[in-house]
Structure 1
């Protein structure tokens, strides 16, 4: 599949951590510092870790409002500080590599934080579904999770002033 098929439309915002991490997240009772034997996806920079690199596994709540669907999900972040995805002005505007080959749970929410649509897709089909849900699909924003382990992946919404 060509790299162009993963281009994120300019009106769409791919947000790594919609709710900032609490500065004390590494010492929280639900956090674990570890050195996995395999590479894992960092939720802050949206890059895979290097095998053997120290990470923190924590419980994360991506919801900004109240909802019966509000829940915490596991996420990994580099133990050493890394730049949050989207912080650089010239960030590559493509679906992150770590999400291109995974089965994703795509959950669309309305303005009242109620889930109105859910799909399981992978590769560029997931990106196209996000477009469909945000354009005429009744969704204000989308939460994407990795379908197999349930880890939160990213929040998708319209850019301010977007289409």
Structure 2
């Protein structure tokens, strides 16, 4: 099922709601230091945001490069968290937080 989801409910120009797929039988992926296989198979847009929800960095990558992009973007001390989107359709995929 395709639904609209407010995945970035912030008071900045980057507040966003967009389409996400909800699939029967799927479970929330909630792991530390692990990337789900689904993210490795697609082109991704990774965006870094500061504590004021302003974008401070971004990368357009193939899924196999996700760990390197996370490391690079979080090396910026301004980056508080990341959002990952599937690049072509633009659907929100996940949030990455510092641990």
- 1:145 is matched with which residue? 85
The structure with the larger Rg is 1
Match of 1:103 among 43, 46, 50: 43
Partner of 1:23: none
Aligned residues: 99
Displacement after TM superposition at 1:134 (Å): 1.2
Instruction: Give the structure-2-normalised TM-score.
Output: 0.86
Matched-pair contact (CA < 8 Å) for 1:109–1:140 = yes
Judged with a 3 Å threshold, the aligned counterparts in structure 2 of structure 1 residues 132 and 115 are, in CA distance, closer, same or farther, namely same
Q: Does 1:129 align with 2:69?
A: yes
Q: TM-score normalised to the size of structure 1?
A: 0.55
RMSD after superposition: 1.9
- The structure with the greater share of residues assigned to strand is 2
Gaps of 5+ in 1: 1-55
- Counterpart position of 2:5: 60
Distance 1:118 1:84 in 2: 25
Any idea what SS the aligned residue of 1:78 has? coil
Cα distance per residue 1:67-96 (max 9 Å; x no partner): 21111111111245x43221xxxx585311
5+ residue gaps, structure 2, are none
Is 1:70 the equivalent of 2:15?
yes
